[in-house]
Copies of this chain bind each other. A is one copy, B any other.
Amino acid sequence: MNRKNLLAIILMGTFIFSCKQAAEKNQTVDLNSQQELIFPKGEKVTNNNFIGDVWVHMQVMADSVNQNSVGTVTFDPGARSNWHSHPNGQIIMSLDGEGYYQEKGSEKRILRKGDVVKCPANTPHWHGASAEKPFIQIAITSRVDGPTEWLHPVTEEQYLNGN
């Protein structure tokens, strides 16, 4: 093989590699990079209402006239909320990744990008990331009839098997 051919083959290899990188970089939202996210990842949760690594970015606080709080929540794989309920229910909008959602007495559901859940009032439920992938959601919570009631943690058995 002469030098020109060798050079051409090396250059081609470089372009194929760059192409693969460019495509992979842009294919999906990079859940580890805030630059790629629609909304900021926010602050890491430090209270005991969650298990695992969870970040919350509060976008809107409830007030006396518009009693909704809106925030974006990012769960690392395996992370989830404790069981809890809301006097006016809750709306969950899935932005990216793969999540779990379960209401008391119902089977665990898998949530993916674009899935929207309207959780009924005073219904114990939990939500979080799947065991394998992170999960990003918007949580819209009405406070008209009071704040969130936090309950007990979600066991490994409940988390993995929804029992």
Interface residues in chain A, defined as those with a beta carbon under 8 Å from any beta carbon in chain B = 4-5, 8-9, 11-12, 15-16, 18-19, 22-23, 25-27, 37-40, 59-60, 65-68, 70, 88-89, 91, 93, 95-96, 113-114, 116, 118, 120-121, 138, 140, 142, 144-145
A93: B residues at CB distance < 8 A: 39, 59, 70, 138
Given the known A-B contacts A5-B4, A5-B5, A18-B19, are A116 and B66 also in contact in the complex, defined by CB atoms under 8 Å? no
Q: Flag if A144 contacts B67 (CB, 8 Å).
A: yes
Query: 18 new A-B pairs (CB below 8 Å) besides A38-B114, A65-B145, A68-B142?
Result: A8-B8, A11-B12, A15-B19, A18-B19, A19-B19, A22-B23, A39-B116, A59-B91, A60-B116, A65-B89, A66-B88, A66-B89, A66-B121, A67-B88, A67-B142, A68-B91, A68-B140, A142-B142
The interface residues of chain B lying within 8 Å CB-to-CB of A118 are 60, 66
16 example contacts (A-B, Cβ-Cβ < 8 A) are as follows: A5-B5, A8-B9, A11-B12, A12-B12, A15-B19, A22-B22, A38-B96, A39-B93, A59-B116, A60-B116, A65-B88, A65-B89, A67-B88, A68-B91, A68-B142, A70-B140
Closest beta carbon of chain B to A56's beta carbon, Å = 14
Taking CB atoms, residues of chain B closer than 8 Å to A114 are 37-40
Contact for A15 among B15, B25, B26, B140, CB less than 8 A: B15
Interface centre among A4, A19, A27 (most CB of B within 10 A): A19
Q: Which residue of B lies closest to A90 (CB)?
A: B66
In the complex, what residue of chain B is closest to A69 when comparing beta carbons? B91
